[in-house]
Amino acid sequence: MSVYLDWAATTPPDPAVIAEYSRIAQTDWYNPSSAHEGGRRVRSVLEDSRRRAADALSSDPESIVFTSGGTESDHIPLLALLQRSSRGSIAISAIEHAAVSEQAKAMEQAGWKTLIIPSNRDGIITPEAVLSTIREDTALVAVMGVNNETGAIQPIREIADALEAGRPAKRMPHFHVDAVQAVGKIPFDFNVPGVHSYALSAHKIGGPRGIGLLKLSKQIEPFVRGGGQEGGLRPGTENVAGAAALAMALEGATRRIAEGTAGEEIANRLFAGIANIPGIRPIPDGRAEADPRFSPFIAQFTNRRFPGEVLVRALSDRNIYISTGSACSSKKKKRPVLEAMRVDPDSQQNAFRISSGPGTTESDIDAVLAALSELMGV
């Protein structure tokens, strides 16, 4: 058996959720756009899933657009800008996931200027940083809910308020929040006034791969088009089994949050243990247990002895699975999030991430602490 501490990359599937996927895929397989009784029945399964997902987010079914995952959910508002007749700028935080940051860069080829909202040394985007970055022509602002490498919780409500009160233009920019690492992990409001869209992914909360959703509180004109499914916002035959599985996973995630999770205890044990291992320190410096500015489920550290990927491999050899940072950029050596936090190059190179989830046990934490102690030569 391995110790899994890479929950930010993906989560172990909930067997009940996969069973539900499998059941719906077998029984309710008709195309929901077909006008016959089979199609109509599957349409009602899809709409029922939409209602359940909406309920879990305390939102309206009309605001839920099922997508193929977090990346596509991030892309829909960004690509919708191509539909506008004039070009302008896009302001994204310096710590966004590649789904946002790489796509924003690509938008430059289509005439859009990308502005980077700087992070502070703690990996947090302040409302002031947002206001001092945006311009009158800023059409979209993207700040993620919880950073996937450091766990830093971003002040989304404060940023939305600042945009409302202090923006340079008359028109509100579209404010998009990638909430992939927030949902099911921390209490998180999916209905902040002034936030226009949230991106979610099923496989980060025990659901299957290939399904996610965009929670959209504002009408947008999509650029990516096809058969008109999902209110015209996400073309392609609907993944009904995936939608049902996502709804079920979201219900579970919401329940866990409502019941209170063991995340804090796990984080406390981890940080207390790390403090006793010479040669390892948290990023940002001074992050300690129970810091409410961070998700208890994601922690970034650096060490004096090994490059991050060497440490990942050494732990893997001991059947302990962690990552350096984003799995999505594990092949690249660059660490843009740490760079944005002004972490020095050596500490960046030797950085690693421990991410946990509702299934993480104290003995998982003890195992990684023991292995790290050994590797640090304690």
Q: Active-site positions?
A: 328
Does position 4 interact with a second copy (CB under 8 A)? The reply is yes
CB of residue 348 vs a second copy: minimum separation in angstroms?
16
Report in angstroms the alpha-carbon separations of 82 from 47, 117, 313: 29, 22, 42
Cis peptide before 284 (omega within 30 of 0): yes
Residues 231-290 that bind a second copy (CB under 8 A): 235-242
Does position 226 interact with a second copy (CB under 8 A)? The reply is yes
Q: 321 with 6: CB under 8 angstroms? A: yes
Nearer to a second copy, 34 or 59 (CB): 34
Distance separating alpha carbons of residues 316 and 323, to the nearest angstrom: 10
Q: 325 with 298: CB under 8 angstroms? A: no
Nearer to a second copy, 44 or 316 (CB): 316
| DSSP state at residue 294 | B
Nearer to a second copy, 194 or 222 (CB): 222
Does position 331 interact with a second copy (CB under 8 A)? The reply is yes
Out of 50, 97, 256, 269, name the contact with a second copy by CB under 8 A.
97
Does position 29 interact with a second copy (CB under 8 A)? The reply is yes
Interface segment toward a second copy; rule CB under 8 A; list 130-138, 226-234, 335-343, 368-376? 226-234
Does position 9 interact with a second copy (CB under 8 A)? The reply is yes
Interface segment toward a second copy; rule CB under 8 A; list 116-124, 159-167, 325-333, 334-342? 325-333
Interface segment toward a second copy; rule CB under 8 A; list 8-16, 165-173, 275-283, 299-307? 8-16
CB of residue 352 vs a second copy: minimum separation in angstroms?
10
Q: 201 with 69: CB under 8 angstroms? A: yes
Nearer to a second copy, 266 or 322 (CB): 322
State phi, psi for 319 to the nearest 5 degrees: 65, 30
CB of residue 31 vs a second copy: minimum separation in angstroms?
4
Does position 359 interact with a second copy (CB under 8 A)? The reply is no
Distance separating alpha carbons of residues 117 and 96, to the nearest angstrom: 10
Distance separating alpha carbons of residues 72 and 79, to the nearest angstrom: 10
Size of the site for a second copy (CB under 8 A): 83
Which helix (H) or strand (E) segment holds residue 242: the answer is helix 240-259
Does position 115 interact with a second copy (CB under 8 A)? The reply is no
Out of 105, 135, 157, 293, name the contact with a second copy by CB under 8 A.
105
Write the binding mask 187 to 206 for a second copy: x where contact by CB under 8 A, - elsewhere. Answer: --------------x-x---
Does position 114 interact with a second copy (CB under 8 A)? The reply is no
Out of 288, 319, 334, 374, name the contact with a second copy by CB under 8 A.
319
Does position 89 interact with a second copy (CB under 8 A)? The reply is no
Distance separating alpha carbons of residues 68 and 238, to the nearest angstrom: 9
CB of residue 290 vs a second copy: minimum separation in angstroms?
28
Nearer to a second copy, 113 or 157 (CB): 113
- The string over 201-216, giving b where at least 16 C-beta atoms fall within 10 Å of a residue's C-beta and e elsewhere, is bbbbbbbbeebbbbbb
Out of 1, 15, 258, 259, name the contact with a second copy by CB under 8 A.
15
Q: 32 with 46: CB under 8 angstroms? A: yes
Residue 154: CA count within 13 A, CB half-sphere: 35
Does position 333 interact with a second copy (CB under 8 A)? The reply is no
Strands (E), the chain: 3-4, 64-67, 89-93, 113-117, 138-142, 174-178, 197-201, 212-216, 280-283, 298-303, 320-321, 351-355
